[in-house]
Amino acid sequence: MSEVRERVRDHYRKLALEVDGGGCCDSECCSGEPSGIGPELYDALERAELPDAAVLASLGCGNPLLVAELRPGETVLDLGSGGGIDVLLSARRVGPTGRAFGLDMTEEMLELARGNARDAGVDNVEFLRGYIESVPLPDESVDVVISNCVINLSPDKPAVFGEIHRVLRHGGRVGVSDIVASDELSPAERAERGSYVGCIAGALSFEEYRAGLERAGFADVRVEPTHAVASGMFGTVIRAVRP
């Protein structure tokens, strides 16, 4: 587990430093990413709301805000918040009576995200350092958990699903974008299609994702593909509710 985590951390540390230095960071020049990933998955109006560094650091596989249906006054948690694009957009949507938390394990990404929040003039946000397998927030403290192409990077996905369930209030929602594999692909076949840090090798299948959330206690689980990113691998939206 620690080896996978360090590979992921090193990849995103380099990404944060590249963006902070003003370098290119689209899905091509940050090598190893499949197609269908990056800031183009946000519309022009959303990108216009944000500092360039937040947009450049986005390597998500979808737009979880389209899934989460955020409401004014809610508390939102973004797992693996990176440069902060989804946190900042969430903070705008929940408004001054709401709050948006971002969680990331990479100090360089956290520094980038905090700078982006200052540049955007958004103050109802807080960026936390930690692991998505062990969220540093109290039980039943958030209304919505979002994530963008990050859960597939975790070496312990059952722990992630358990933590999401723990921090959500009853009736709380999951709105996640992730890479998911066709059910017929074996783990070895998934690994042939891309690297772990490139969001492919660690992907769950559709049935594995659905079953994992249900075992963690979620209801109304929906795992729906939106676009292909590699052969048998799909950008996918995942919705679920904590009863």
pLDDT of residue 124 exceeding 70 = yes
pTM score, two decimals? Answer: 0.81
Segments making up each domain of the chain, as ranges: 2-241
DSSP designation for 203: P
pLDDT of residue 47: 46
Q: Selecting from 3.40.50.150, 3.40.50.10950, 3.40.50.880, 3.30.930.10, what CATH number does the domain 2-241 have?
A: 3.40.50.150
pLDDT interval class at 207 (50, 70, 90):
very high
Instruction: Report which of 65, 20, 35, 71 is spatially closest to residue 47, judged by C-alpha positions.
Output: 65
DSSP string of 1-35, one letter each residue: -HHHHHHHHHHHHHHHHHHHTT---STTTSTTPPS
pLDDT interval class at 67 (50, 70, 90):
confident
**Distance from the first to the final alpha carbon of the chain:** 31
Highest average pLDDT, of 15-29, 47-61, 184-198, 209-223, comes from 209-223
* Residue that has been written with the tokens 């995200």 in this structure: 113
Give the chain's radius of gyration (CA, Å): 16
pLDDT interval class at 109 (50, 70, 90):
confident
pLDDT of residue 30: 35
pLDDT interval class at 4 (50, 70, 90):
low
pLDDT interval class at 53 (50, 70, 90):
very low
pLDDT, average across residues 194-205: 64
- Residue 110, Cβ density class (10 Å: 0-12 exposed, 13-18 middle, ≥19 buried): buried
pLDDT of residue 217: 98
SS3 204: coil
pLDDT in tens, 8-50: 556 555 665 555 454 444 433 333 444 444 444 444 445 445 4
